Amino acid sequence: MHGSTTPPAASFDAIVVGAGLSGMYMLYRLRGLGLATRVFEAGSDVGGTWYWNRYPGARCDVESLDYSYSFSPELEQEWEWTERYPTQPEIQRYLNHVADRFQLRRDMQFDTRVTHAHYDAARSRWDIQTDDGQRYTARYCIMAVGCLSTPNQPSFKGLESFTGRWYHTGLWPHEDVDFTGLRVGVIGTGSSAIQAIPQIAKQARRLYVFQRTPNYSVPAQNEPLDPERQRQIKAEYPARRQKSRMSRAGFPFDAPERSALEVTPEERNQIFEAGWQRGGIGSINAAFKDLVTNPDANETVAQFVRDKIRQIVHDPATAELLIPREYPFGTKRLCVDIDYFETYNRPNVTLVDVRSAPIQEITPRGLRTSTGEYALDAIVFATGYDAMTGPLFAIDIRGRDGQSLKTKWSDGPRTYLGLATAGFPNLFMITGPGSPSVLSNMVVSIEQHVDWITDCVRFLKDHHYTKIEASRQAEDAWVRHVNEVADLTLYPRANSWYMGANIPDKPRVFMPYLGGVGAYRQKCDELAANNYEGFTLSP
Ligand code: N01
């Protein structure tokens, strides 16, 4: 990276990679410590995942009033949400408001992708290079790159020959995409597709959904936010936020105490029905305590959803195809929808099973499966992400002794608390693998990580340490613990992106931490109070 004739690199105390929810708040907190900080962002504006995911129907599965920052009571009170679940444009407006209110943009550099982050042990500094060839240096390097920001674009044969237009949900164009009168194919039936399909179906002349694996989905039961309810929640915000912070998944719900197997089938069904009517995450999936740990309990909720699909979808053959059978309920991310299953009752929508008849190629005029060709004017790849490790591996990250992160993690991610990794001093990850992250309300987890990192940096400063590094031993113990907790559940049974199973050759390792955000927070706080137990601090 160094050439003798190149100009000296611009120097900062901290460099943050990414200006999504995590990078924005990290900048705010580091500024509060008086650190000279620069944020690099590949997009042209703040927002991260919400900047890129502009596909039709994109909306958060977490309720607006909970999917928002809690660090500023003024911000919390002044922002008015309009719907139970915020749409992508509304979240983007909110994040723009946050950026303006706290004048974040002045320390952000947009349209700039970080390509290299190399640790220089002699200087105890990170050398950062961006895609415009510029070099920077900083004591701390903080990866705020998101968990689902590296799109998975499967390499279908013939895509370059396609004469229509094609899109990936995670890289949606900023200008309007109009499908009116077109024959559209959607590949994939995960959360993104399940949101987009009902919207595209309203525009397209014909919609073909190419499904490999059906998904469990619950209705969002979205509605306009009642101003009175918003006022009430805002009045109780401190307690509500605190409850979320100490909860299992970052939501202000009471944890279920009963097993699905200790009630009568009638009572169980009533409870599931009430959850279905309430809708969203924290509905049927949070009805009993053992739904993702006990296969028999799991089967009760899986069966409830299967019955719902049969009731909603008129064509029995389509309904059977839409029914998930091969993995337990909730072990792939539960989808939340608005009229997803209902959409298959439209005359212009066809479900195509590409499990039994795989996609063979994209042709100039459409898509060919092993049973025939589908004529298409547009293709939407809703094929997901190289989750959690993908965004980190997209950067050439090298620690002490030039070791690359990708090499170190070749058998799966190895972190201490999902915050740090041995051999990479002063490098922090926000919601990294090994932390609750994607199994939680992301904003709650992001704020916890950012607050912890801020306290840590303040501690180092106050005690005249220049370096912090996770110890190998602490990391090994944490990785073991993350795996042991996952193995107590049914999660490893699914071929999910949590397991890396959606990406060819990715190691099959359960990446997020299932111990719960409250317990995890306590653990992080305890070891910080214990002089950063498990880390080595150097003057
Ligand atoms: O991606 P996914 P996503 N041929 O990986 C299929 C979050 N999110 O973008 O299951 C044919 O879930 C693949 O099939 P299979 C949320 O955490 C949140 O939808 O691998 N099909 C699957 O059906 C979510 O979990 C929100 O057999 C192929 C689909 O593509 C995560 O993002 C909204 C294929 C990918 O589904 C990712 O969701 C949206 C191939 N070669 C997303 N390759 C909200 O909060 C892949 N597929 C609102």
Over pLDDT 70: what percentage of the chain? 99
- Mean of pLDDT values over 475-486: 98
Residue 500 Cβ contacting ligand 1 at under 6 Å:
no
Residue 382 Cβ contacting ligand 1 at under 6 Å:
yes
Atom of ligand 1 nearest to the CA of 189: 23
Atom of ligand 1 nearest to the CA of 213: 27
Q: What are phi and psi of 290, to 5 degrees?
A: -115, 20
Whether 10 and 107 have beta carbons less than 8 Å apart is answered as: no
- Mean of pLDDT values over 446-462: 98
- What are the tokens at 338? 């608005």
CA dist 91 and 88 (Å) reads 5
Atom of ligand 1 nearest to the CA of 381: 30
- What are the tokens at 42? 């590949």
Which amino acid residue places its CA nearest to atom 1 of ligand 1? 384
Reply yes or no on whether the pLDDT at 4 is more than 70.
no
Q: Note the pLDDT tens digit of each residue in 346-377.
A: 999 999 999 999 999 999 999 999 999 999 99
Residue 222 Cβ contacting ligand 1 at under 6 Å:
no
How much distance in Å is there from the Cα of 381 to the middle of ligand 1? 9
How much distance in Å is there from the Cα of 152 to the middle of ligand 1? 9
CA dist 522 and 539 (Å) reads 27
Residue 218: strand pairing partners: 336
pLDDT score recorded for residue 7: 72
> Residue 378, Cβ neighbours under 10 Å: how many?
19
DSSP 256: P
Q: What are phi and psi of 77, to 5 degrees?
A: -80, -35
Q: Note the pLDDT tens digit of each residue in 243-281.
A: 999 999 999 999 999 999 999 999 999 999 999 999 999
Domain extents for the chain?
10-150+387-538, 159-381
- Mean of pLDDT values over 479-505: 97
Residue 497 Cβ contacting ligand 1 at under 6 Å:
yes
- Mean of pLDDT values over 276-298: 96
- Mean of pLDDT values over 328-348: 98
Report yes or no on whether pTM surpasses 0.85: yes
- Mean of pLDDT values over 53-73: 97
pLDDT score recorded for residue 6: 67
pLDDT score recorded for residue 342: 98
Over pLDDT 90: what percentage of the chain? 98
Reply yes or no on whether the pLDDT at 31 is more than 60.
yes
Q: Tell me the residue type at 76.
A: E
Reply yes or no on whether the pLDDT at 393 is more than 60.
yes
CA dist 494 and 180 (Å) reads 37
Reply yes or no on whether the pLDDT at 295 is more than 90.
yes
CA dist 41 and 111 (Å) reads 6
How much distance in Å is there from the Cα of 167 to the middle of ligand 1? 14
User: Per CATH, is 10-150+387-538 categorized as 3.50.50.60?
Assistant: yes
Helix or strand run (H / E) with residue 168: strand 165-168
- Give the list of residues 6+ apart from residue 149 with CB closer than 8 angstroms, or none: 18, 20, 48, 49, 52, 170, 385, 390, 391
Residue 52 Cβ contacting ligand 1 at under 6 Å:
no
CA dist 156 and 164 (Å) reads 15
Residue 490 Cβ contacting ligand 1 at under 6 Å:
no
CA dist 394 and 48 (Å) reads 15
Q: What are phi and psi of 191, to 5 degrees?
A: -55, -40
Nearest to 507 by CA among 409, 425, 431, 416: 409
How much distance in Å is there from the Cα of 332 to the middle of ligand 1? 10
Q: Note the pLDDT tens digit of each residue in 181-240.
A: 999 999 999 999 999 999 999 999 999 999 999 999 999 999 999 999 999 999 999 999
What confidence category does residue 5 fall into, taking pLDDT thresholds of 50, 70 and 90? low
Average pLDDT, rounded, for the chain = 97
Reply yes or no on whether the pLDDT at 130 is more than 90.
yes
**Candidate from 169, 212, 368 with most ligand 1 atoms within 8 A of CB, to mutate:** 212
pLDDT score recorded for residue 3: 45
Calculate helix-pair angle for 21-32, 442-462, nearest 10 degrees.
30
How much distance in Å is there from the Cα of 329 to the middle of ligand 1? 16
